[in-house]
C-alpha cells in the first residue's frame, strides 16, 4: 500500500457517477499493478464518455490501453490475460457493441471456472453503458441485461448511484470471476455522495432499499432506479402513496431475499427495467416473487419496460416507447387498484 | 516483418528422437483406444481424434519450453499427452471422472493443465485465438520471456476471431505463434472449398506478420520451424503463423466415418507416408533395434491399458458438486440471497472450492 493510500481521508465527497467510476479505476490501479484498462478510445481520447479522463497520463499507455475497433479480439484478450492472473477492465463503448464479442463473453469467459473444473479462474471486468434516449435509434439503444444475467458463470452488476458506481466497480475488479458492470449514459452526469475510502466497496449480491415505503415495492436497477425514485416522490406528493424502491444493484447474483422482505410489508410489486420486458429482468423478478411471496401478494406483479419494437428515431416515437416516469406511475397506481 | 532468428541446425540425439517417437506411439495408441471406449459408450459427447497428425503435435510440443504456454482447439488429446499430462488424467477426463484433468467437467474438448502451462482445450472454432492473444499480452505485461503456442485448424482461418487476434498480436508485438493445423478438411469441407486464399500462411502478411508452411508430417521439420518461431516470439516479441500440413485418418469426430468427402484411396495414400512410420525408419537408420521399437509399442499399450483402468477406478463427480469451480472464493455469500423463489433451487449449488471436486 502506498503512503498516499494509507493517509487518504475516509470522508465523502459529492461527485458525478462518471467521476465515481474514474475514482474507482484510479484507486484500484494504484492498489494493484495487475489492474489495467483497455478498450476503444480509453487512452488518448480519454474515453468515449470521458470516464477514463486523465488515467493514461497517470498510468501510461500500457495500463490504459487503446484498442482497435475489435471487440471480439480484445474482450477475449481480456479473458486470456485474466486467466494468467491479470485484472483487466475492458471498456465497451456501449452494450450494443458487446454483441459482436458475445462468443468470448458467453462461450469463453463465462465458462472458464466450471468447464475447467476450477483449475483456472477468469477475473475480468467488462464495463459498458446501456440504455436508450437521445434519439440513438435501433442499433444503439438496447439493454440486454437479462441475457447476461441469465448466464451461469457470469456476475452482473448495475450501479444506479455514484456511490454504487464506485463501490460496485471496485468489488467487480476485486472479484475472482468475470463481472459485467452495466453503466448508463443518462446517469453519468448524476451527482451524489461518494466515499473517499479506498477500501470502500459495495458487496456484490446485495440489493439496496433506496427508499423505504409501506404501500408498494418498486423493483428496479440502473437508470430505472433513478426513474423509480422520482416516481415514488410523485406518488407520495400527488396520491399519498408510500412506495418502497428496491434497487437491485446486482442482477446475478440476485438478492431475492430483500425483495421478498419488502413484499411481505407492501403486498404489491411493480418491476421496472430499461430493456424489453419479454424474457427480461422483470420477467425473472416476477417469476421469483410469485413463488417466494405467493401468500403476501394482494395483486398480480406488474411490469414496465421498453415497448417491444426496435427503437425508432423520431423523438415522439422514442418517447412513446421508453419506460418513462408517467408509464411507471400509471402502472404503480394500477397495481394498487387506484385510478391515475 | 522478417524473423531474424536463424534456423536451428542441431540434430535430435538418438535418445531424444526415441522419446519423441514413444510419445507419438502413445498418442496413436491412446486415440485408437479412445475410439474403442467411445463405441463401448464409456466416452460420450464429441471425441475428435488426431491419428495421422502425431509428428505435427509432438514436434510442436518438443519446441515448446516447459514455461511456455499452450492453447488448443478441441482436437487435443495428443497435445495434452505430449505436454506431460498423465494418460490416466486424460482418459479419466474422457470418461467424465473426478480424477480427470478437468475433474470430469470438460471432457475430450476441454482438457487443460495450468501447472503445465496448458490453458485449454476450447470447443468453438477460432474462439481460443483471442484467449491466446490475451495470455501473450499478460506475458508481456509481466515481463516474462515466454511464448504462447496457439493451435487451430484450417477451418478457423475464416473466422473473425482469427483476423482480430492476428491484428492485435502484431499491433502489440505479442509473443504468440499461431499453429494452423491444415489437415486439408474443416469437418468435411476441403480447404480450397472454404478459403479464397488456400495458402493459409500467406494471410499472416496482411498483418505484417511472418508466416510459413511446413510439412507437418515430418518431425524434424516441425521441430525446426516451431522452435525458430517460438524463439522469435520469446526474444523479439514477434508473433507468427506456422501452417503445418498434415492429414487426419479418422473422421471429423468419432461419429463421422470420414468418407463422405474423401475416398478410401486418398486416406490410404496418406497412410503410406505415415509420420510414425517415417520416424520409425529414422530410428532404425540410427541403429535402434526392431526389439527396442517393439518394446516401445508394448509399453504404449500398457500405459494406455493402465489409463483405462485408472479411469474406470476413478469415481463419478457427485451431484452436490454440480457447481464446483464455477465461481471463486467469496461467491457462496454473494449467491446466498438468491434462493427464495428459485426455479432450480440454488440452495443445491455450492461454489465452495474447498469442498473438492
pLDDT, tens digit, 9 for 90 and up, residues A45-96:
999 999 999 999 999 999 999 999 999 999 999 999 999 999 999 999 999 9
Question: pLDDT (tens digit, 9 = 90+) per residue, B25-68?
Answer: 999 999 999 999 999 999 999 999 999 999 999 999 999 999 99
Tell whether B188 is covered by a domain: yes
Q: Please say if the pLDDT value at position B128 is more than 60.
A: yes
pLDDT for B319: 87
Pair (B20, B144) in one structural domain: yes
Of B177, B170, B187, B168, the residue nearest B146 (C-alpha): B177
Strands A87-91 and A64-66: unpaired
Q: If residue A257 lies in a helix (H) or strand (E), which one and from where to where?
A: helix A256-266
pLDDT band at B353 (very low <50, low <70, confident <90, very high): low
B245 and B209 belong to one structural domain: yes
With beta carbons less than 8 A apart as the criterion, state whether A112 and A121 touch: yes
How many angstroms separate the CA atoms of B331 and A164, rounded?
A: 19
| pLDDT tens per residue, range B283-312 | 999 999 999 999 999 999 999 999 999 999
Tens-place pLDDT, residues B224-234: 999 999 999 99
> How many domains in chain B?
2
Task: Check if the beta carbon of residue B139 is closer than 8 Å to that of residue B151.
Answer: no
A140 as an active site residue: the answer is yes
B31 phi and psi angles, rounded to 5 deg:
-75, -35
Task: Look up A71 and say whether it is catalytic.
Answer: yes
pLDDT digits (tens, 9 = 90+) for B237-274: 999 999 999 999 999 999 888 999 999 999 999 999 99
Q: How far apart are CA A139 and CA B343, in angstroms?
A: 33
Nearest Cα of chain A lies from the Cα of B70 at a distance, in angstroms, of 12
Residue B6 lies in a domain: no
How far is residue A188's CA from residue A108's CA, in Å, rounded to a whole number? 30
Contacting residues of B for A89, CB less than 8 Å apart: none
Is the four-CA dihedral A86, A180, B334, B347 of positive or negative sign?
A: negative
Does residue B282 share a domain with residue B258? Answer: yes
Q: Is A272 helix (H, G, I), strand (E, B) or coil?
A: strand
Superfamily of domain A13-195: Thiamin diphosphate (ThDP)-binding fold, Pyr/PP domains (3.40.50.970)
Measured N-to-C along each axis, helices B14-39 and B219-236 cross at an angle, to the nearest 10 degrees, of 100
% of chain B exceeding 90 in pLDDT: 88
Beta strand residue intervals within chain B, DSSP E: 69-72, 118-121, 148-153, 176-182, 185-186, 189-190, 210-215, 240-245
What pLDDT score does A9 carry? 62
Over range B131-147, report the average pLDDT.
98
With 50 as the cut, is the pLDDT of residue B9 above it? no
Q: Please tell me the distance from the alpha carbon of residue B249 to that of residue B251, in angstroms, as a whole number.
A: 7
For A93, phi then psi, to 5°, come to: -60, -45
**Cα Rg for chain B, rounded, in angstroms?**
21
CATH of segment(s) A208-335 = 3.40.50.920
* B220 and B274 co-located in one domain: yes
As a whole number, mean pLDDT of residues B146-172 equals 98
- Say if residue B293 is in the same domain as residue B337: no
Burial class (CB in 10 A: 0-12, 13-18, 19+), A178: buried
Which of A28, A40, A46, A71 is the catalytic position?
A71
Q: Which of A133-147, B2-16, B69-83, B146-160 has the lowest mean pLDDT?
A: B2-16
> Which pairing describes strands A250-252 and A155-157: parallel, antiparallel, or unpaired?
antiparallel
Q: CA-CA distance, B169 to B165, in Å (whole number)?
A: 6
Look at residue B349 in the predicted model and tell me its pLDDT. 73
> Residue B3: pLDDT above 60?
no
What sign does the dihedral B216-B218-B221-B225 (CA atoms) show?
A: positive
Q: Annotated catalytic residue: which of A140, A230, A239, A324? A: A140
Strand boundaries in chain A, DSSP class E: 12-16, 35-39, 64-66, 87-91, 125-130, 155-157, 179-184, 191-195, 208-211, 216-220, 243-247, 250-252, 269-272, 302-304
Q: Residues with Cβ < 8 Å from A261, sequence gap 6 or more?
A: none
CATH code: domain of residue B258: 3.40.50.970
Task: Supply the pLDDT for residue B1.
Answer: 42
CA distance B17 to A92: 49
Q: Do B247 and B343 belong to one domain?
A: no
Residue B306 resides in a domain: yes
Which residues of chain B make contact with A114, given a CB cutoff of 8 A?
105, 323-326
Looking from the CA of B95 toward its CB, the CA atoms found within 13 Å total 26
Closest partner residue to B135 among A36, A80, A176, by Cβ?
A80
Q: Residue B2: what pLDDT?
A: 47
Kindly give the pairing relationship between strand B210-215 and strand B240-245. Answer: parallel
Inter-chain residue contact A118 with B325, CB threshold 8 Å: yes
Return the CA Rg of chain A: 20
Looking at the fold, whether B260 and B323 belong to one and the same domain comes out as no
Q: Rounded CA gap, B163 and B207, in Å?
A: 9
For cell 434519439, what's the residue? A135
Contact B242, B173 (CB under 8 A): no
Range B7-21 average pLDDT: 82
Residue A292 forms contact with B (CB below 8 Å): yes
Q: Residue B7: inside a domain, yes or no?
A: no
- pLDDT exceeds cutoff 70 at B348: no
Q: Where do the structural domains in chain A lie, given as residue ranges?
A: 13-195, 208-335
Which whole number is the average pLDDT over B83-91?
Answer: 98
pLDDT tens track, chain A, 340 positions:
344 444 456 799 999 999 999 999 999 999 999 999 999 999 999 999 999 999 999 999 999 999 999 999 999 999 999 999 999 999 999 999 999 999 999 999 999 999 999 999 999 999 999 988 889 999 999 999 999 999 999 999 999 999 999 999 999 999 999 999 999 999 999 999 999 999 999 999 999 999 999 999 999 999 999 999 999 999 999 999 999 999 999 999 999 999 999 999 999 999 999 999 999 999 999 999 999 999 999 999 999 999 999 999 999 999 999 999 999 999 999 999 997 7
Q: Both B304 and B345 in a single domain? A: no
Q: What is the pLDDT of residue B354?
A: 67
pLDDT value of residue A93: 97
Select from A73, A250, A292 the Cβ nearest to the Cβ of B168. A73
Asked if the model's pLDDT at residue B73 lies above 50, the reply is: yes
My answer on whether B68 and B179 are in the same domain is yes
Residue with cell 522419446: B19
> Residue A117: which of B103, B138, B141 has the nearest Cβ?
B103
* A177:B105 CB<8 A: no
* A76 to B127: CB separation less than 8 angstroms, yes or no: yes
Percent of chain A topping pLDDT 70: 97
Of B254, B249, B266, B122, residue with least CA distance to B183: B249
Task: Kindly determine whether residue A83 and residue B104, on different chains, have CB atoms separated by under 8 Å.
Answer: no
A133-137, B6-10, B216-220 — which one is most confidently predicted on average? B216-220
Nearest C-alpha in A relative to B342: A288
On whether residue B9 sits in a domain, the answer given is: no
How many helices (H) and strands (E) chain A has is answered by 14, 14
Find the CB nearest B337 among A74, A176, A256. Answer: A256
For B171-198, write each residue's pLDDT tens digit: 999 999 999 999 999 999 999 999 999 9
Chain B interface includes A117 (CB < 8 A): yes
Q: Which of B105, B80, B76 is nearest to B93 (CA)?
A: B105
Same domain, B308 and B332: no
Nearest chain A residue to B353 by CA distance is A118
Look up the domain containing B338 and give its range.
319-355
pLDDT tier at B343, thresholds 50, 70, 90: confident
Residues B300 and B347 in one domain: no
Contact B331 A176 (CB under 8 A): yes
Closest-CA residue to A327 (of A265, A221, A234): A234
**Cα B156 to Cα B163: distance, rounded to the nearest angstrom:** 10
- B153 and B239 inside one domain: yes
Pairwise CA distance, residues B248 & B75, whole Å: 10
Amino acid at each position: 500500500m502506498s503512503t498516499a493510500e494509507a493517509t487518504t481521508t475516509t470522508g465523502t465527497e459529492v461527485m458525478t457517477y462518471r467521476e465515481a467510476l474514474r475514482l474507482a479505476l484510479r484507486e484500484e490501479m494504484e492498489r494493484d499493478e495487475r489492474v489495467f484498462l483497455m478498450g476503444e478510445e480509453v487512452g488518448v481520447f480519454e474515453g468515449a464518455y470521458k470516464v477514463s479522463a486523465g488515467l493514461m497520463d497517470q498510468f501510461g499507455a500500457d495500463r490504459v490501453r487503446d484498442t482497435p475497433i475489435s471487440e471480439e479480439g480484445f474482450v477475449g484478450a481480456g479473458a486470456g490475460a485474466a486467466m494468467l492472473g491479470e485484472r483487466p477492465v475492458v471498456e465497451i463503448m456501449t452494450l450494443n457493441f458487446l454483441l459482436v464479442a458475445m462468443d468470448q463473453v458467453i462461450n469463453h469467459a463465462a465458462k472458464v471456472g466450471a468447464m475447467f473444473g476450477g483449475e483456472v479462474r477468469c477475473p475480468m471486468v467488462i464495463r459498458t453503458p446501456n440504455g436508450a434516449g437521445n434519439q440513438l435509434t435501433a442499433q444503439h439503444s438496447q439493454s440486454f441485461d437479462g441475457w447476461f444475467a441469465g448466464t451461469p458463470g457470469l456476475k452482473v452488476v448495475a450501479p444506479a448511484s455514484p456511490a454504487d458506481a464506485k463501490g460496485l466497480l471496485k468489488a467487480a475488479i476485486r472479484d475472482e470471476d468475470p463481472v459485467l458492470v452495466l453503466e448508463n449514459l443518462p446517469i453519468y452526469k448524476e451527482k451524489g455522495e461518494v466515499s473517499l475510502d479506498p477500501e470502500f466497496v459495495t458487496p456484490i449480491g446485495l440489493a439496496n432499499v433506496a427508499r423505504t415505503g409501506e404501500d408498494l415495492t418498486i423493483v428496479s436497477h440502473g437508470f430505472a432506479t433513478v426513474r423509480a425514485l422520482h416516481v415514488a416522490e410523485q406518488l407520495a406528493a400527488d396520491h399519498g402513496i408510500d412506495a418502497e424502491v428496491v434497487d437491485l444493484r446486482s442482477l446475478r447474483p440476485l438478492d431475492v431475499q430483500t425483495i421478498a422482505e419488502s413484499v411481505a410489508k407492501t403486498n404489491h410489486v411493480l418491476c421496472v427495467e430499461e430493456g424489453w420486458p419479454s424474457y427480461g429482468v422483470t420477467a425473472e423478478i416476477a417469476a421469483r416473487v410469485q413463488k417466494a411471496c405467493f401468500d403476501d401478494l394482494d395483486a398480480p406483479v406488474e411490469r414496465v419496460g421498453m415497448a417491444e419494437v426496435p427503437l425508432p428515431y423520431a423523438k415522439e416515437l422514442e418517447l412513446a416507447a421508453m419506460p418513462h416516469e408517467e408509464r411507471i406511475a400509471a402502472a404503480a397506481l394500477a397495481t394498487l387498484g387506484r385510478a391515475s | 516483418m522478417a524473423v531474424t532468428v536463424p534456423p536451428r541446425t542441431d540434430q535430435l540425439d538418438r535418445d531424444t528422437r526415441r522419446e519423441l517417437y514413444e510419445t507419438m506411439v502413445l498418442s496413436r495408441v491412446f486415440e485408437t483406444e479412445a475410439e474403442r471406449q467411445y463405441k463401448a459408450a464409456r466416452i460420450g459427447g464429441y471425441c475428435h481424434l488426431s491419428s495421422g497428425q502425431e509428428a505435427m503435435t509432438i514436434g510442436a510440443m518438443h519446441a515448446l519450453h516447459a514455461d511456455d504456454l499452450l492453447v488448443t482447439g478441441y482436437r487435443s488429446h495428443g497435445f495434452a499427452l505430449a505436454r506431460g499430462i498423465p494418460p490416466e488424467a486424460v482418459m479419466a477426463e474422457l470418461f467424465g471422472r473426478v480424477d480427470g484433468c478437468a475433474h470430469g467437467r470438460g471432457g475430450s474438448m476441454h482438457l487443460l493443465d495450468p501447472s503445465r502451462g496448458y490453458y485449454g482445450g476450447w470447443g468453438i472454432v477460432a474462439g481460443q485465438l483471442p484467449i491466446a492473444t490475451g495470455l501473450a499480452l499478460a506475458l508481456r505485461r509481466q515481463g516474462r520471456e515466454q511464448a504462447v503456442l496457439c493451435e487451430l485448424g484450417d477451418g478457423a482461418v475464416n473466422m473473425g476471431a482469427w483476423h482480430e487476434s492476428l491484428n492485435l498480436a502484431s499491433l502489440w508485438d505479442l509473443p504468440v505463434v499461431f499453429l494452423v493445423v491444415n489437415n486439408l478438411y474443416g469437418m468435411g469441407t476441403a480447404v480450397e472449398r472454404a478459403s479464397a486464399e488456400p495458402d493459409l500462411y500467406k494471410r499472416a502478411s496482411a498483418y505484417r506478420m511472418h508466416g510459413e508452411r511446413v510439412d507437418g508430417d515430418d518431425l524434424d521439420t516441425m521441430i525446426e520451424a516451431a522452435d525458430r518461431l517460438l524463439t522469435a516470439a520469446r526474444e523479439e516479441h514477434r508473433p507468427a503463423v506456422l501452417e503445418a500440413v498434415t492429414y487426419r485418418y479418422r473422421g471429423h469426430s468419432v461419429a463421422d466415418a470420414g468418407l463422405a468427402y474423401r475416398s478410401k484411396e486418398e486416406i490410404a495414400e496418406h497412410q503410406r507416408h505415415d509420420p510414425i512410420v517415417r520416424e520409425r525408419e529414422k530410428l532404425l537408420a540410427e541403429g535402434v533395434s526392431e526389439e527396442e521399437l517393439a518394446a516401445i509399442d508394448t509399453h504404449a499399450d500398457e500405459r494406455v491399458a493402465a489409463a483405462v483402468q485408472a479411469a474406470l477406478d476413478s469415481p463419478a463427480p457427485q451431484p452436490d458438486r454440480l457447481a464446483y469451480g464455477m465461481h471463486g472464493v467469496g461467491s457462496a455469500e454473494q449467491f446466498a440471497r438468491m434462493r427464495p423463489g428459485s426455479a432450480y433451487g440454488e440452495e443445491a449449488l455450492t461454489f465452495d472450492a474447498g469442498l473438492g471436486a
